[in-house]
Amino acid sequence: MRIAALDDDPILMELIQASVEHAGHLFHPFTDGTSLLRALRTETFDLLIVDWHLPDMSGMEVVRTLRAGLAPQMPILFVTRRNAEQDVVEALNCGADDFMTKPIRMGELMARTAALLRRAYPSTVSRTLDFGRYRFEPKTRTLWMEGTAVDLKNKEYDLALFMFQNAGRLLSREHMRQSVWSEVQDVPSRSLDTHVSRLRNKLALSPENGYVVNAVYGMGYRLDVVDVTQSA
């Protein structure tokens, strides 16, 4: 998972980074709200850890901006020295999913982070997944379309599963490459486009089948769900 953290305390950020990476996630640090909001114009993350007090704006302003359109569904964990009940209420009401106070206990931070990730992105290690006319069987790494197995190469299957799991969510190109290929620097941008094009053809992603792939210029791709009854 790609976890972003917004805090201007360098020592705390080092501790968070060590904990996040130890848990197997990718860490993306930001020290001011402006840089995070700028990054979210071309990037996507799976979760955000944000402080209340920032050099250029408040964490509340950042969360409200994200919920207004930049990242309406991304899990957000507030981390701050403020601990009054009204502070917790205000943070949750503005769009945060959880709240914890400083000084941070790293074990608790990672437990809360893991809980938010489980809630937002349910585990699919072994169970069969159904998406309309498409069925994924992770144990055998097989994708079925209306009862017929689709011939997919290894990364094509991984990319298809990732996109269906995140249907309706805009995914940046780097996010997709990191999640499917792990090593971003070894994957040319053209390779991602080729894989998406192949999936569009092999899975017949079209309105009549309930799903379409939309490319968002300068950002990435989004697999959108289509109401089959309306497209008929």
The whole-number pLDDT of residue 191 equals: 87
The whole-number pLDDT of residue 231 equals: 52
62-63-64 Cα angle (round to 5): 95
Same domain, 81 and 168: no
Virtual CA dihedral for 73, 113, 25, 61, nearest 10 degrees? 50
State how far the Cα of 8 lies from the Cα of 46, in Å rounded to an integer: 21
Task: Tokens 């020295």: give the residue.
Answer: 81
The whole-number pLDDT of residue 83 equals: 85
Q: Phi then psi for 79, rounded to 5 degrees?
A: -130, 120
The verdict on residue 149 lying in a domain is no
B/e letters for 114-147, b = 16+ CB within 10 Å, e = fewer, are: eebbeeeeeeeeeeeeebebbbbeeeeeebeeee
The whole-number pLDDT of residue 230 equals: 61
- DSSP strand pairing (76-80 vs 98-101): parallel
Same domain, 104 and 10: yes
CB 6 within 8 A of CB 33: yes
CB 172 within 8 A of CB 232: no
The verdict on residue 18 lying in a domain is yes
The verdict on residue 30 lying in a domain is yes
CB 63 within 8 A of CB 99: no
What is the residue type of 220?
Answer: G
CATH number of the domain encompassing residue 183: 1.10.10.10
What is the residue type of 18?
Answer: A
State how far the Cα of 181 lies from the Cα of 175, in Å rounded to an integer: 10
Q: Please say which residue of 103, 120, 137 terminates a domain.
A: 120
Same domain, 21 and 77: yes
The whole-number pLDDT of residue 196 equals: 96
The whole-number pLDDT of residue 110 equals: 96
Same domain, 116 and 11: yes
Give the Å distances, CA to CA, from 45 to 125, 135, 171, 213, 232.
21, 26, 8, 20, 35
The verdict on residue 66 lying in a domain is yes
Same domain, 113 and 159: no
The whole-number pLDDT of residue 189 equals: 65
The verdict on residue 129 lying in a domain is no
The whole-number pLDDT of residue 82 equals: 87
User: DSSP string of 121-189?
Assistant: S---SSS-EEETTEEEETTTTEEEETTEE----HHHHHHHHHHHHTTTS-EEHHHHHHHHHS-GGGS-H
The verdict on residue 184 lying in a domain is yes
The whole-number pLDDT of residue 227 equals: 81
Same domain, 113 and 205: no
Same domain, 76 and 173: no
The verdict on residue 145 lying in a domain is no
Which domain does 217 fall in, by range? 155-231
- Taking the model in full, what pTM does it have? 0.84
Same domain, 108 and 205: no
189-206-227 Cα angle (round to 5): 120
CATH number of the domain encompassing residue 48: 3.40.50.2300
The whole-number pLDDT of residue 232 equals: 52
The verdict on residue 150 lying in a domain is no
**What is the chain's pLDDT, residue by residue, as a tens digit (232 residues)?**
999 999 999 999 999 999 999 999 999 999 999 999 999 999 999 999 999 999 999 999 999 999 998 899 999 999 999 888 999 999 999 999 999 999 999 999 999 999 999 999 876 556 889 999 999 998 899 999 999 999 999 999 999 999 999 999 999 999 999 999 886 555 566 889 999 999 999 999 999 999 999 999 889 999 999 986 665 5
Same domain, 108 and 11: yes
State how far the Cα of 174 lies from the Cα of 212, in Å rounded to an integer: 21
Query: How many structural domains are present in the chain?
Result: 2
Same domain, 113 and 217: no
